[in-house]
Structure 1
């Protein structure tokens, strides 16, 4: 049995703005990462850096369907799939699913932690796109000590 981590949220912005907020590193550094070697593009590899970690994370196997879905690998055991759905009021539902790890005690802990991590990603994305607020700034400074 494979485990998966899930999170979803509704953002009061059109689908094209939400999509751009996820693939465009100039926007991502405002709410999620501190650095990127480039935009998410199908077939490309980028490196992400998070402000609270010294490591850099390669983002591979990137597949995009404009204004519909984004998928990538950043953990060799899992695939992240982000699906976008535009509603009649022009808001967008964003669903994140990270899956692929086999069931074990350690991987169950991973699934729970990553569900919280993806929920944080979505809350930060919503706050930034709707209100220009950077929720992540300073939120994880305690992890650097």
Structure 2
């Protein structure tokens, strides 16, 4: 049986460089994805991300960046499992951008299936929030996951 891999995409009505910078720059990312970052995404850099709904910081290792085309990083996508996340950007007609996120791979077992469901939902949400922020200046994530906070 094949290993599991996440793949999700969305078209954003903004030029590719706007989308690229929104992903690399923590001041932009805090408007749709993370609360804080220890820095801008740069090839070879290890960063800490803080999500608004969790107390923990998440470590990411930036692997490769190709301006306006590709961003990859590794993180603990599943407990004790370092996974590669790849974001590809493709210019489309009308000065828009196709943004695609892939993550993987995991075994097709109970842990892998749980990861596939949770992280596919997470990356689809990331793309929807990125689109809302870039096209309309709206932070869809703000307050959306308050129910996840442990009291």
TM range (shorter): over 0.9
Of the structure 1 ranges 78-87 and 61-70, higher mean CA displacement relative to structure 2 is found in 61-70
Q: Displacement of 1:137 after TM fit?
A: 0.3
Aligned twin of 1:117: 122
Q: How many residue pairs end up in the alignment?
A: 145
Secondary structure, aligned partner of 2:6: strand
Deviating 4+ runs (over 4 angstroms): none
RMSD between aligned alpha carbons? Answer: 1.0
The TM-score, its normalising length taken from structure 2, stands at: 0.93
Aligned positions of 1:41-56 closer than 5 A: 41-56=42-57
CA contact (8 A) 1:45 1:62 kept: no
Once the two structures are superposed, residues 28-81 of structure 1 have per-residue CA deviations (whole angstroms, 9 ceiling, x without a partner) of 001100000001000111100001111100111431001001000112431000
User: Secondary structure at the residue paired with 1:18?
Assistant: helix
Shift of residue 100, structure 1, vs aligned partner: 1.8
State the distance in 2 between where 1:88 and 1:133 align.
24
For structure 2, list consecutive stretches of 5 or more residues without a partner in the other structure. none
Q: How does 1:69-80 map to 2 (within 5 A)?
A: 69-75=70-76, 76-80=81-85
Query: Equivalents in 1 of 2:96, 2:117: separation in Å?
Result: 28
What residue ranges of structure 1 are gaps of 5+ in the alignment? Answer: none
Counterpart for residue 132 of structure 1: 137
Q: Compute the displacement of 1:105 (Å).
A: 1.2
State the 1:7 CA deviation. 1.2
- Show the counterpart of 1:58: 59
In 2: Cα distance, 1:19 partner to 1:73 partner:
18
What TM-score do the two structures reach when normalised by structure 1?
Answer: 0.96
